[in-house]
Structure 1
């Protein structure tokens, strides 16, 4: 019998039982993808990540990321959480200050920065592929129905549009925080109108009204196709969210070419999460997208194979 050890981490939070749960496994290259998928389904967290040896010795590690239903080519909270565990446990030497690593993921090389302050891992940040803007979705009545809202709850100043940094999400702007809170996702509408299209099956909703004064945007994400009814923190969607907000002028720049954005998510689920987004822009072009945040170790376990 083989034993796999894992760490349980809450990502995008400083407090236990907040943020997004993540199981981080240290696995060798012999562990097969179907076994990893079964483990992710058994744990039934938003995602589980398997740290493996890199194919390129110049890189730090390779990551395989699974939801209960599918493998993902890239995801934010597993990347951030895996880096936190590697640094926290001393599995990769981490010096005081700034540490720059490269992870291999399904989208290619992902730059990761780990910040260590007085022997503590104070923040982990990842660079994401530049977002690609896809089609706009014009059936506003169907979108409102999907969320159990009226058309008046949707924000007409910005489009409903797909954006992707490796995983496509359909971004739905909402007028107010009160509309976000009364939202009720209808799986029957999703199955009929959204599930068959890879560009519309993951639904990300947001408003620029926030609960916390330090936040920029309030977010909720629904992904039945991943086996996730609602996600408390979605790193892979947060970089494209920042690019969307910048593109459509929803937020002012922090300086002439840099935008610092904080997304609050998971509050309706009782798992407050805070994702920091940095967008670098030159002229009309977005040149760099980063997301980051804090994590906390919450436990550990074993899987017997």
Structure 2
């Protein structure tokens, strides 16, 4: 049966920047191998398949695939799907900010979207908090896996660490923007890093004040050589901040710029709520822009 699809650019307010996303509507009747094959056909970092929710009070259910694997959660698919569904609801006459739940394997994500003309901004609250998975490898193997020198790994209190809020990440602090720009995956050195995980490299953003960082993300084991914007890593980055930064109680805003080296600049907002010295909530925010619409004939 014909199935509608839409593509969007996510974590941006400008088309042809940010992270591209394909969303397949009318996904009922597709089995897992068919979804995986279609995700490989789109060949974007992620493709979303929208299904009816399991609970009537929620807006929809999502299944999220990279070109090679299904994910329990990913950030730019969540934000992009939320904006798309809000825009579709807007066409039905609902024009104010919209709040609804999107079901993912990880849990239900509470979303709030302000739809505009062919675009929107939104935020969602994580259903789980970041999980600390342990310290990262020594700087030597990490540097070798990224084609850098050991002295270029780490800054201030930051050292390699493992966290997840969905898929696992090895977070790698890089000393300078120049080193971040030179980073590249060296496949022969990846086995020395331990269990497979996406590599999220970050450095303080020289163009901003406060908690602003520039980042690059590599996930060759998921069929993603480099990702322009990674919301699941942004959510897990809240755990990095709790580990290495002296944050006090209250609300804290972080801005992560990603995709700059790829020519697909993106901006991801991360909001942390800390009470009694503990992380209580994490929200991810950003924009999304419609790019194309079409019909699948397979």
For residue 33 of structure 1, what is the aligned residue in structure 2? 32
Q: For 2:142, what is the secondary structure of its paired residue?
A: helix
For residue 13 of structure 1, what is the aligned residue in structure 2? 12
- The CA distance in 2 between the partners of 1:221 and 1:258, in whole Å, is 26
Structure 1's 94 and 126: CA in aligned 2 closer, same or farther, altered over 3 A?
farther
Show structure 1 runs of 5+ residues with no match.
none
Q: What CA RMSD, in Å, does the superposition of the two structures yield over aligned residues?
A: 2.1
Q: For 1:149, what is the secondary structure of its paired residue?
A: coil
Structure 1's 150 and 94: CA in aligned 2 closer, same or farther, altered over 3 A?
farther
Query: Structure 2 length normalisation: TM-score?
Result: 0.93
- The CA distance in 2 between the partners of 1:303 and 1:193, in whole Å, is 42
The correspondence for 1:216, drawn from 209, 212, 219, is 212
Tell me the CA shift for residue 3 of structure 1. 1.8
For residue 269 of structure 2, what is the aligned residue in structure 1? 276
For residue 54 of structure 2, what is the aligned residue in structure 1? 55
The correspondence for 1:239, drawn from 229, 235, 247, is 235
- The CA distance in 2 between the partners of 1:122 and 1:295, in whole Å, is 6
Tell me the CA shift for residue 209 of structure 1. 2.9
Q: Is the 8 A contact 1:114 1:121 kept in 2?
A: no
- The CA distance in 2 between the partners of 1:3 and 1:63, in whole Å, is 19
Structure 1's 302 and 275: CA in aligned 2 closer, same or farther, altered over 3 A?
same
Q: Is the 8 A contact 2:61 2:103 kept in 1?
A: yes
For residue 81 of structure 1, what is the aligned residue in structure 2? 80
Show structure 2 runs of 5+ residues with no match.
none
For residue 114 of structure 2, what is the aligned residue in structure 1? 115
Q: Is the 8 A contact 1:13 1:296 kept in 2?
A: yes
For residue 123 of structure 2, what is the aligned residue in structure 1? 125
Query: Structure 1 length normalisation: TM-score?
Result: 0.91
Tell me the CA shift for residue 64 of structure 1. 0.4
- The CA distance in 1 between the partners of 2:142 and 2:93, in whole Å, is 46
Higher alpha-carbon deviation: 211-220 or 148-157: 211-220
Q: Is the 8 A contact 1:127 1:290 kept in 2?
A: yes
The correspondence for 1:299, drawn from 282, 289, 292, is 292
